[in-house]
A and B are shown apart, each in its own frame.
Chain A
């Protein structure tokens, strides 16, 4: 498995911490899945933040703060600076939202913010589209990881454009690539790993499932299956059948 800014993660599941029915279920979902990374955010102090932070620390996972909900470079950069101090990490999941309905990344502002943050010492994990040129610009800006979307955040639609995602894998063979957003069921996560992606970041599919703990475990198993399958070098698809049982030596009985 590729490392992320020099950090080897024990597995390829990055799990969000939002929308769970309770903190206890959130904690169990992490323990059941063994997720290696927890995404977190910053919001106005309401009193609940300190207990949440203690629980995340006790999980012993790597913390990845986000800039969720930011619509401008300035807002995202300031949020990142605040997150670095509170969470004591240089890692930042950089989200720059272009549309409120699709939550599609504003890739122009994303590249600009990535450059500013990288120069300031951040390790940027950009939430981006599957556009190859944007990917190149993000790498030029200093990103060493790319996180293309599978489908819009929270949509559960799976990988909308496997052609583009496969092209991205081929274009950036040495860059750690993470499918971020759009995963609905474990087969989507497995498919991402079968394409050769290095990790999957998901939240809603687990947190909003009827049984989040069981779904978290199912996701972890699917990701491991997909990863093993990719390493095992899958066969190419064919248009026509090819008998798997040998033809030679078949008895003449008609």
Chain B
């Protein structure tokens, strides 16, 4: 299916958020949001993706 991952269009096999992270190699310490809503790590397995979903995967970064 087609999704938007961190602003980039992607075609992926994954059906859940957990599978998406694995498929895209995003295995580090990250936080996730789907369609602008936070998805806790404990809910990623049950978070089913659908065509057109906008997924954000964020990681620690420098900040002021």
**A: which residues have CB within 8 A of B?**
16-20, 26, 39-46, 48-50, 52-53, 56, 65-66, 68, 74, 78, 81-83, 85-87, 153, 203-204
Contacts and interface: CB of A to CB of B under 8 A. Distances in A.
A40 B6 contact: no
B59 interface: yes
Contacts, number: 95
A49 B60 contact: yes
Interface residues of B, number: 23
A40 B62 contact: yes
Given A74-B36, A78-B36, A50 B59 contact: yes
Interface of B: 6-7, 26, 28-33, 36-38, 40-41, 56-64
A41 B31 contact: no
B59 A49 contact: yes
Contact of B57 (A18, A44, A83, A153): A44
A44 B29 CA distance: 12
Nearest to B59: A49
25 contacts: A16-B62, A17-B62, A19-B62, A20-B62, A40-B61, A40-B62, A42-B60, A46-B59, A50-B29, A50-B59, A52-B60, A52-B62, A53-B59, A68-B64, A78-B38, A81-B31, A82-B38, A85-B31, A85-B40, A85-B41, A86-B30, A86-B31, A87-B60, A153-B64, A203-B64
Given A44-B59, A74-B36, A82-B33, 20 more contacts: A16-B62, A17-B63, A20-B62, A26-B62, A41-B61, A41-B63, A42-B59, A43-B58, A44-B58, A45-B30, A46-B59, A49-B30, A49-B61, A52-B61, A68-B63, A78-B36, A82-B32, A82-B58, A86-B30, A86-B58
A50 B59 CA distance: 7
Contacts of B41: 85
A49 B64 contact: no
